[in-house]
Chains A and B, each alone.
Chain A
Amino acid sequence: RKEVEQDPGPFNVPEGATVAFNCTYSNSASQSFFWYRQDCRKEPKLLMSVYSSGNEDGRFTAQLNRASQYISLLIRDSKLSDSATYLCVVTHGGGNNRKLIWGLGTSLAVNP
């Protein structure tokens, strides 16, 4: 089992739709969680960190479920510009044992 798993998609949704992605992780000692966005042929950019209590930034909501070991990203009122690959990142350990594990990403295409 991979340490961090994502459904690669692609998710094809119409403009205005609500779409949700999950990302599961295997290490229960994981400490911090992030969602990054990567556009085609571009570098990844931080979308949002994921806090224990869940957090929202405009149309985007991130949740953490430690019991079931997954994080989620909900996008409401999808825009064409949301089309991208969404990568989750999980970290654990510290110092020289610190690990950053990236998911393979979930591809989203928002259609007019």
Chain B
Amino acid sequence: DTAVSQTPKYLVTQMGNDKSIKCEQNLGHDTMYWYKQDSKKFLKIMFSYNNKELIINETVPNRFSPKSPDKAHLNLHINSLELGDSAVYFCASSQGRTSSTDTQYFGPGTRLTVL
């Protein structure tokens, strides 16, 4: 059984397009995250939601918009894609947001290539 799943696994698209990445977790966790890992392997948190409420919103372009229809899903929509958006996007979840429940479980990643 997949704990944190993401679709699609690979996404190749042209500059200027709008695309979405979906994430679902079946762990019953309250908190979900989106990360971006660029070509230099730097893993940077983008957003975090706790029970559908945005709790971490790092400095990312407003072309990126997360949406959480319920606590098991956190989707990422990207408008007007740019070359610099090419990266691997990881979804993750954790049980809560206190230090004792911070362990994060990651999805397999979505490799986005913008041409």
Contacts and interface: CB of A to CB of B under 8 A. Distances in A.
Contacts of B40: 104
A91 B44 CA distance: 13
**Most chain-B Cβ atoms within 10 A of its Cβ — which of A43, A91, A96, A98?**
A43
- How many residues of B sit at the interface, in one of the four size bands? 20 to 34
A96 B55 contact: yes
| Most chain B CB within a 10 A radius of its CB, from A42, A95, A96, A100 | A100
Contact of B55 (A44, A95, A104): A95
B43 A34 contact: no
Contact of A102 (B43, B100, B105): B43
B64 to A, nearest CB: 18
A109 B100 CA distance: 31
Interface string B16-56: 00000000000000000100000011111100100000011
Contact of B42 (A42, A98, A99, A104): A104
A43 B90 contact: yes
A98 B45 contact: no
B99 interface: yes
A32 interface: yes
Contacts of B70: none
Contacts, number: 51
A98 B43 contact: no
Contacts of A44: 43, 90, 104, 106
Contacts of A95: 55, 97
Given A43-B109, A102-B45, A96 B99 contact: no
Interface of B: 33, 40-45, 48, 55-56, 90, 97-100, 102-109
22 contacts: A31-B99, A34-B102, A42-B109, A43-B108, A44-B104, A45-B106, A46-B103, A46-B105, A49-B103, A85-B41, A91-B99, A91-B102, A94-B98, A95-B55, A96-B55, A98-B97, A100-B45, A100-B56, A102-B45, A104-B40, A104-B42, A105-B43
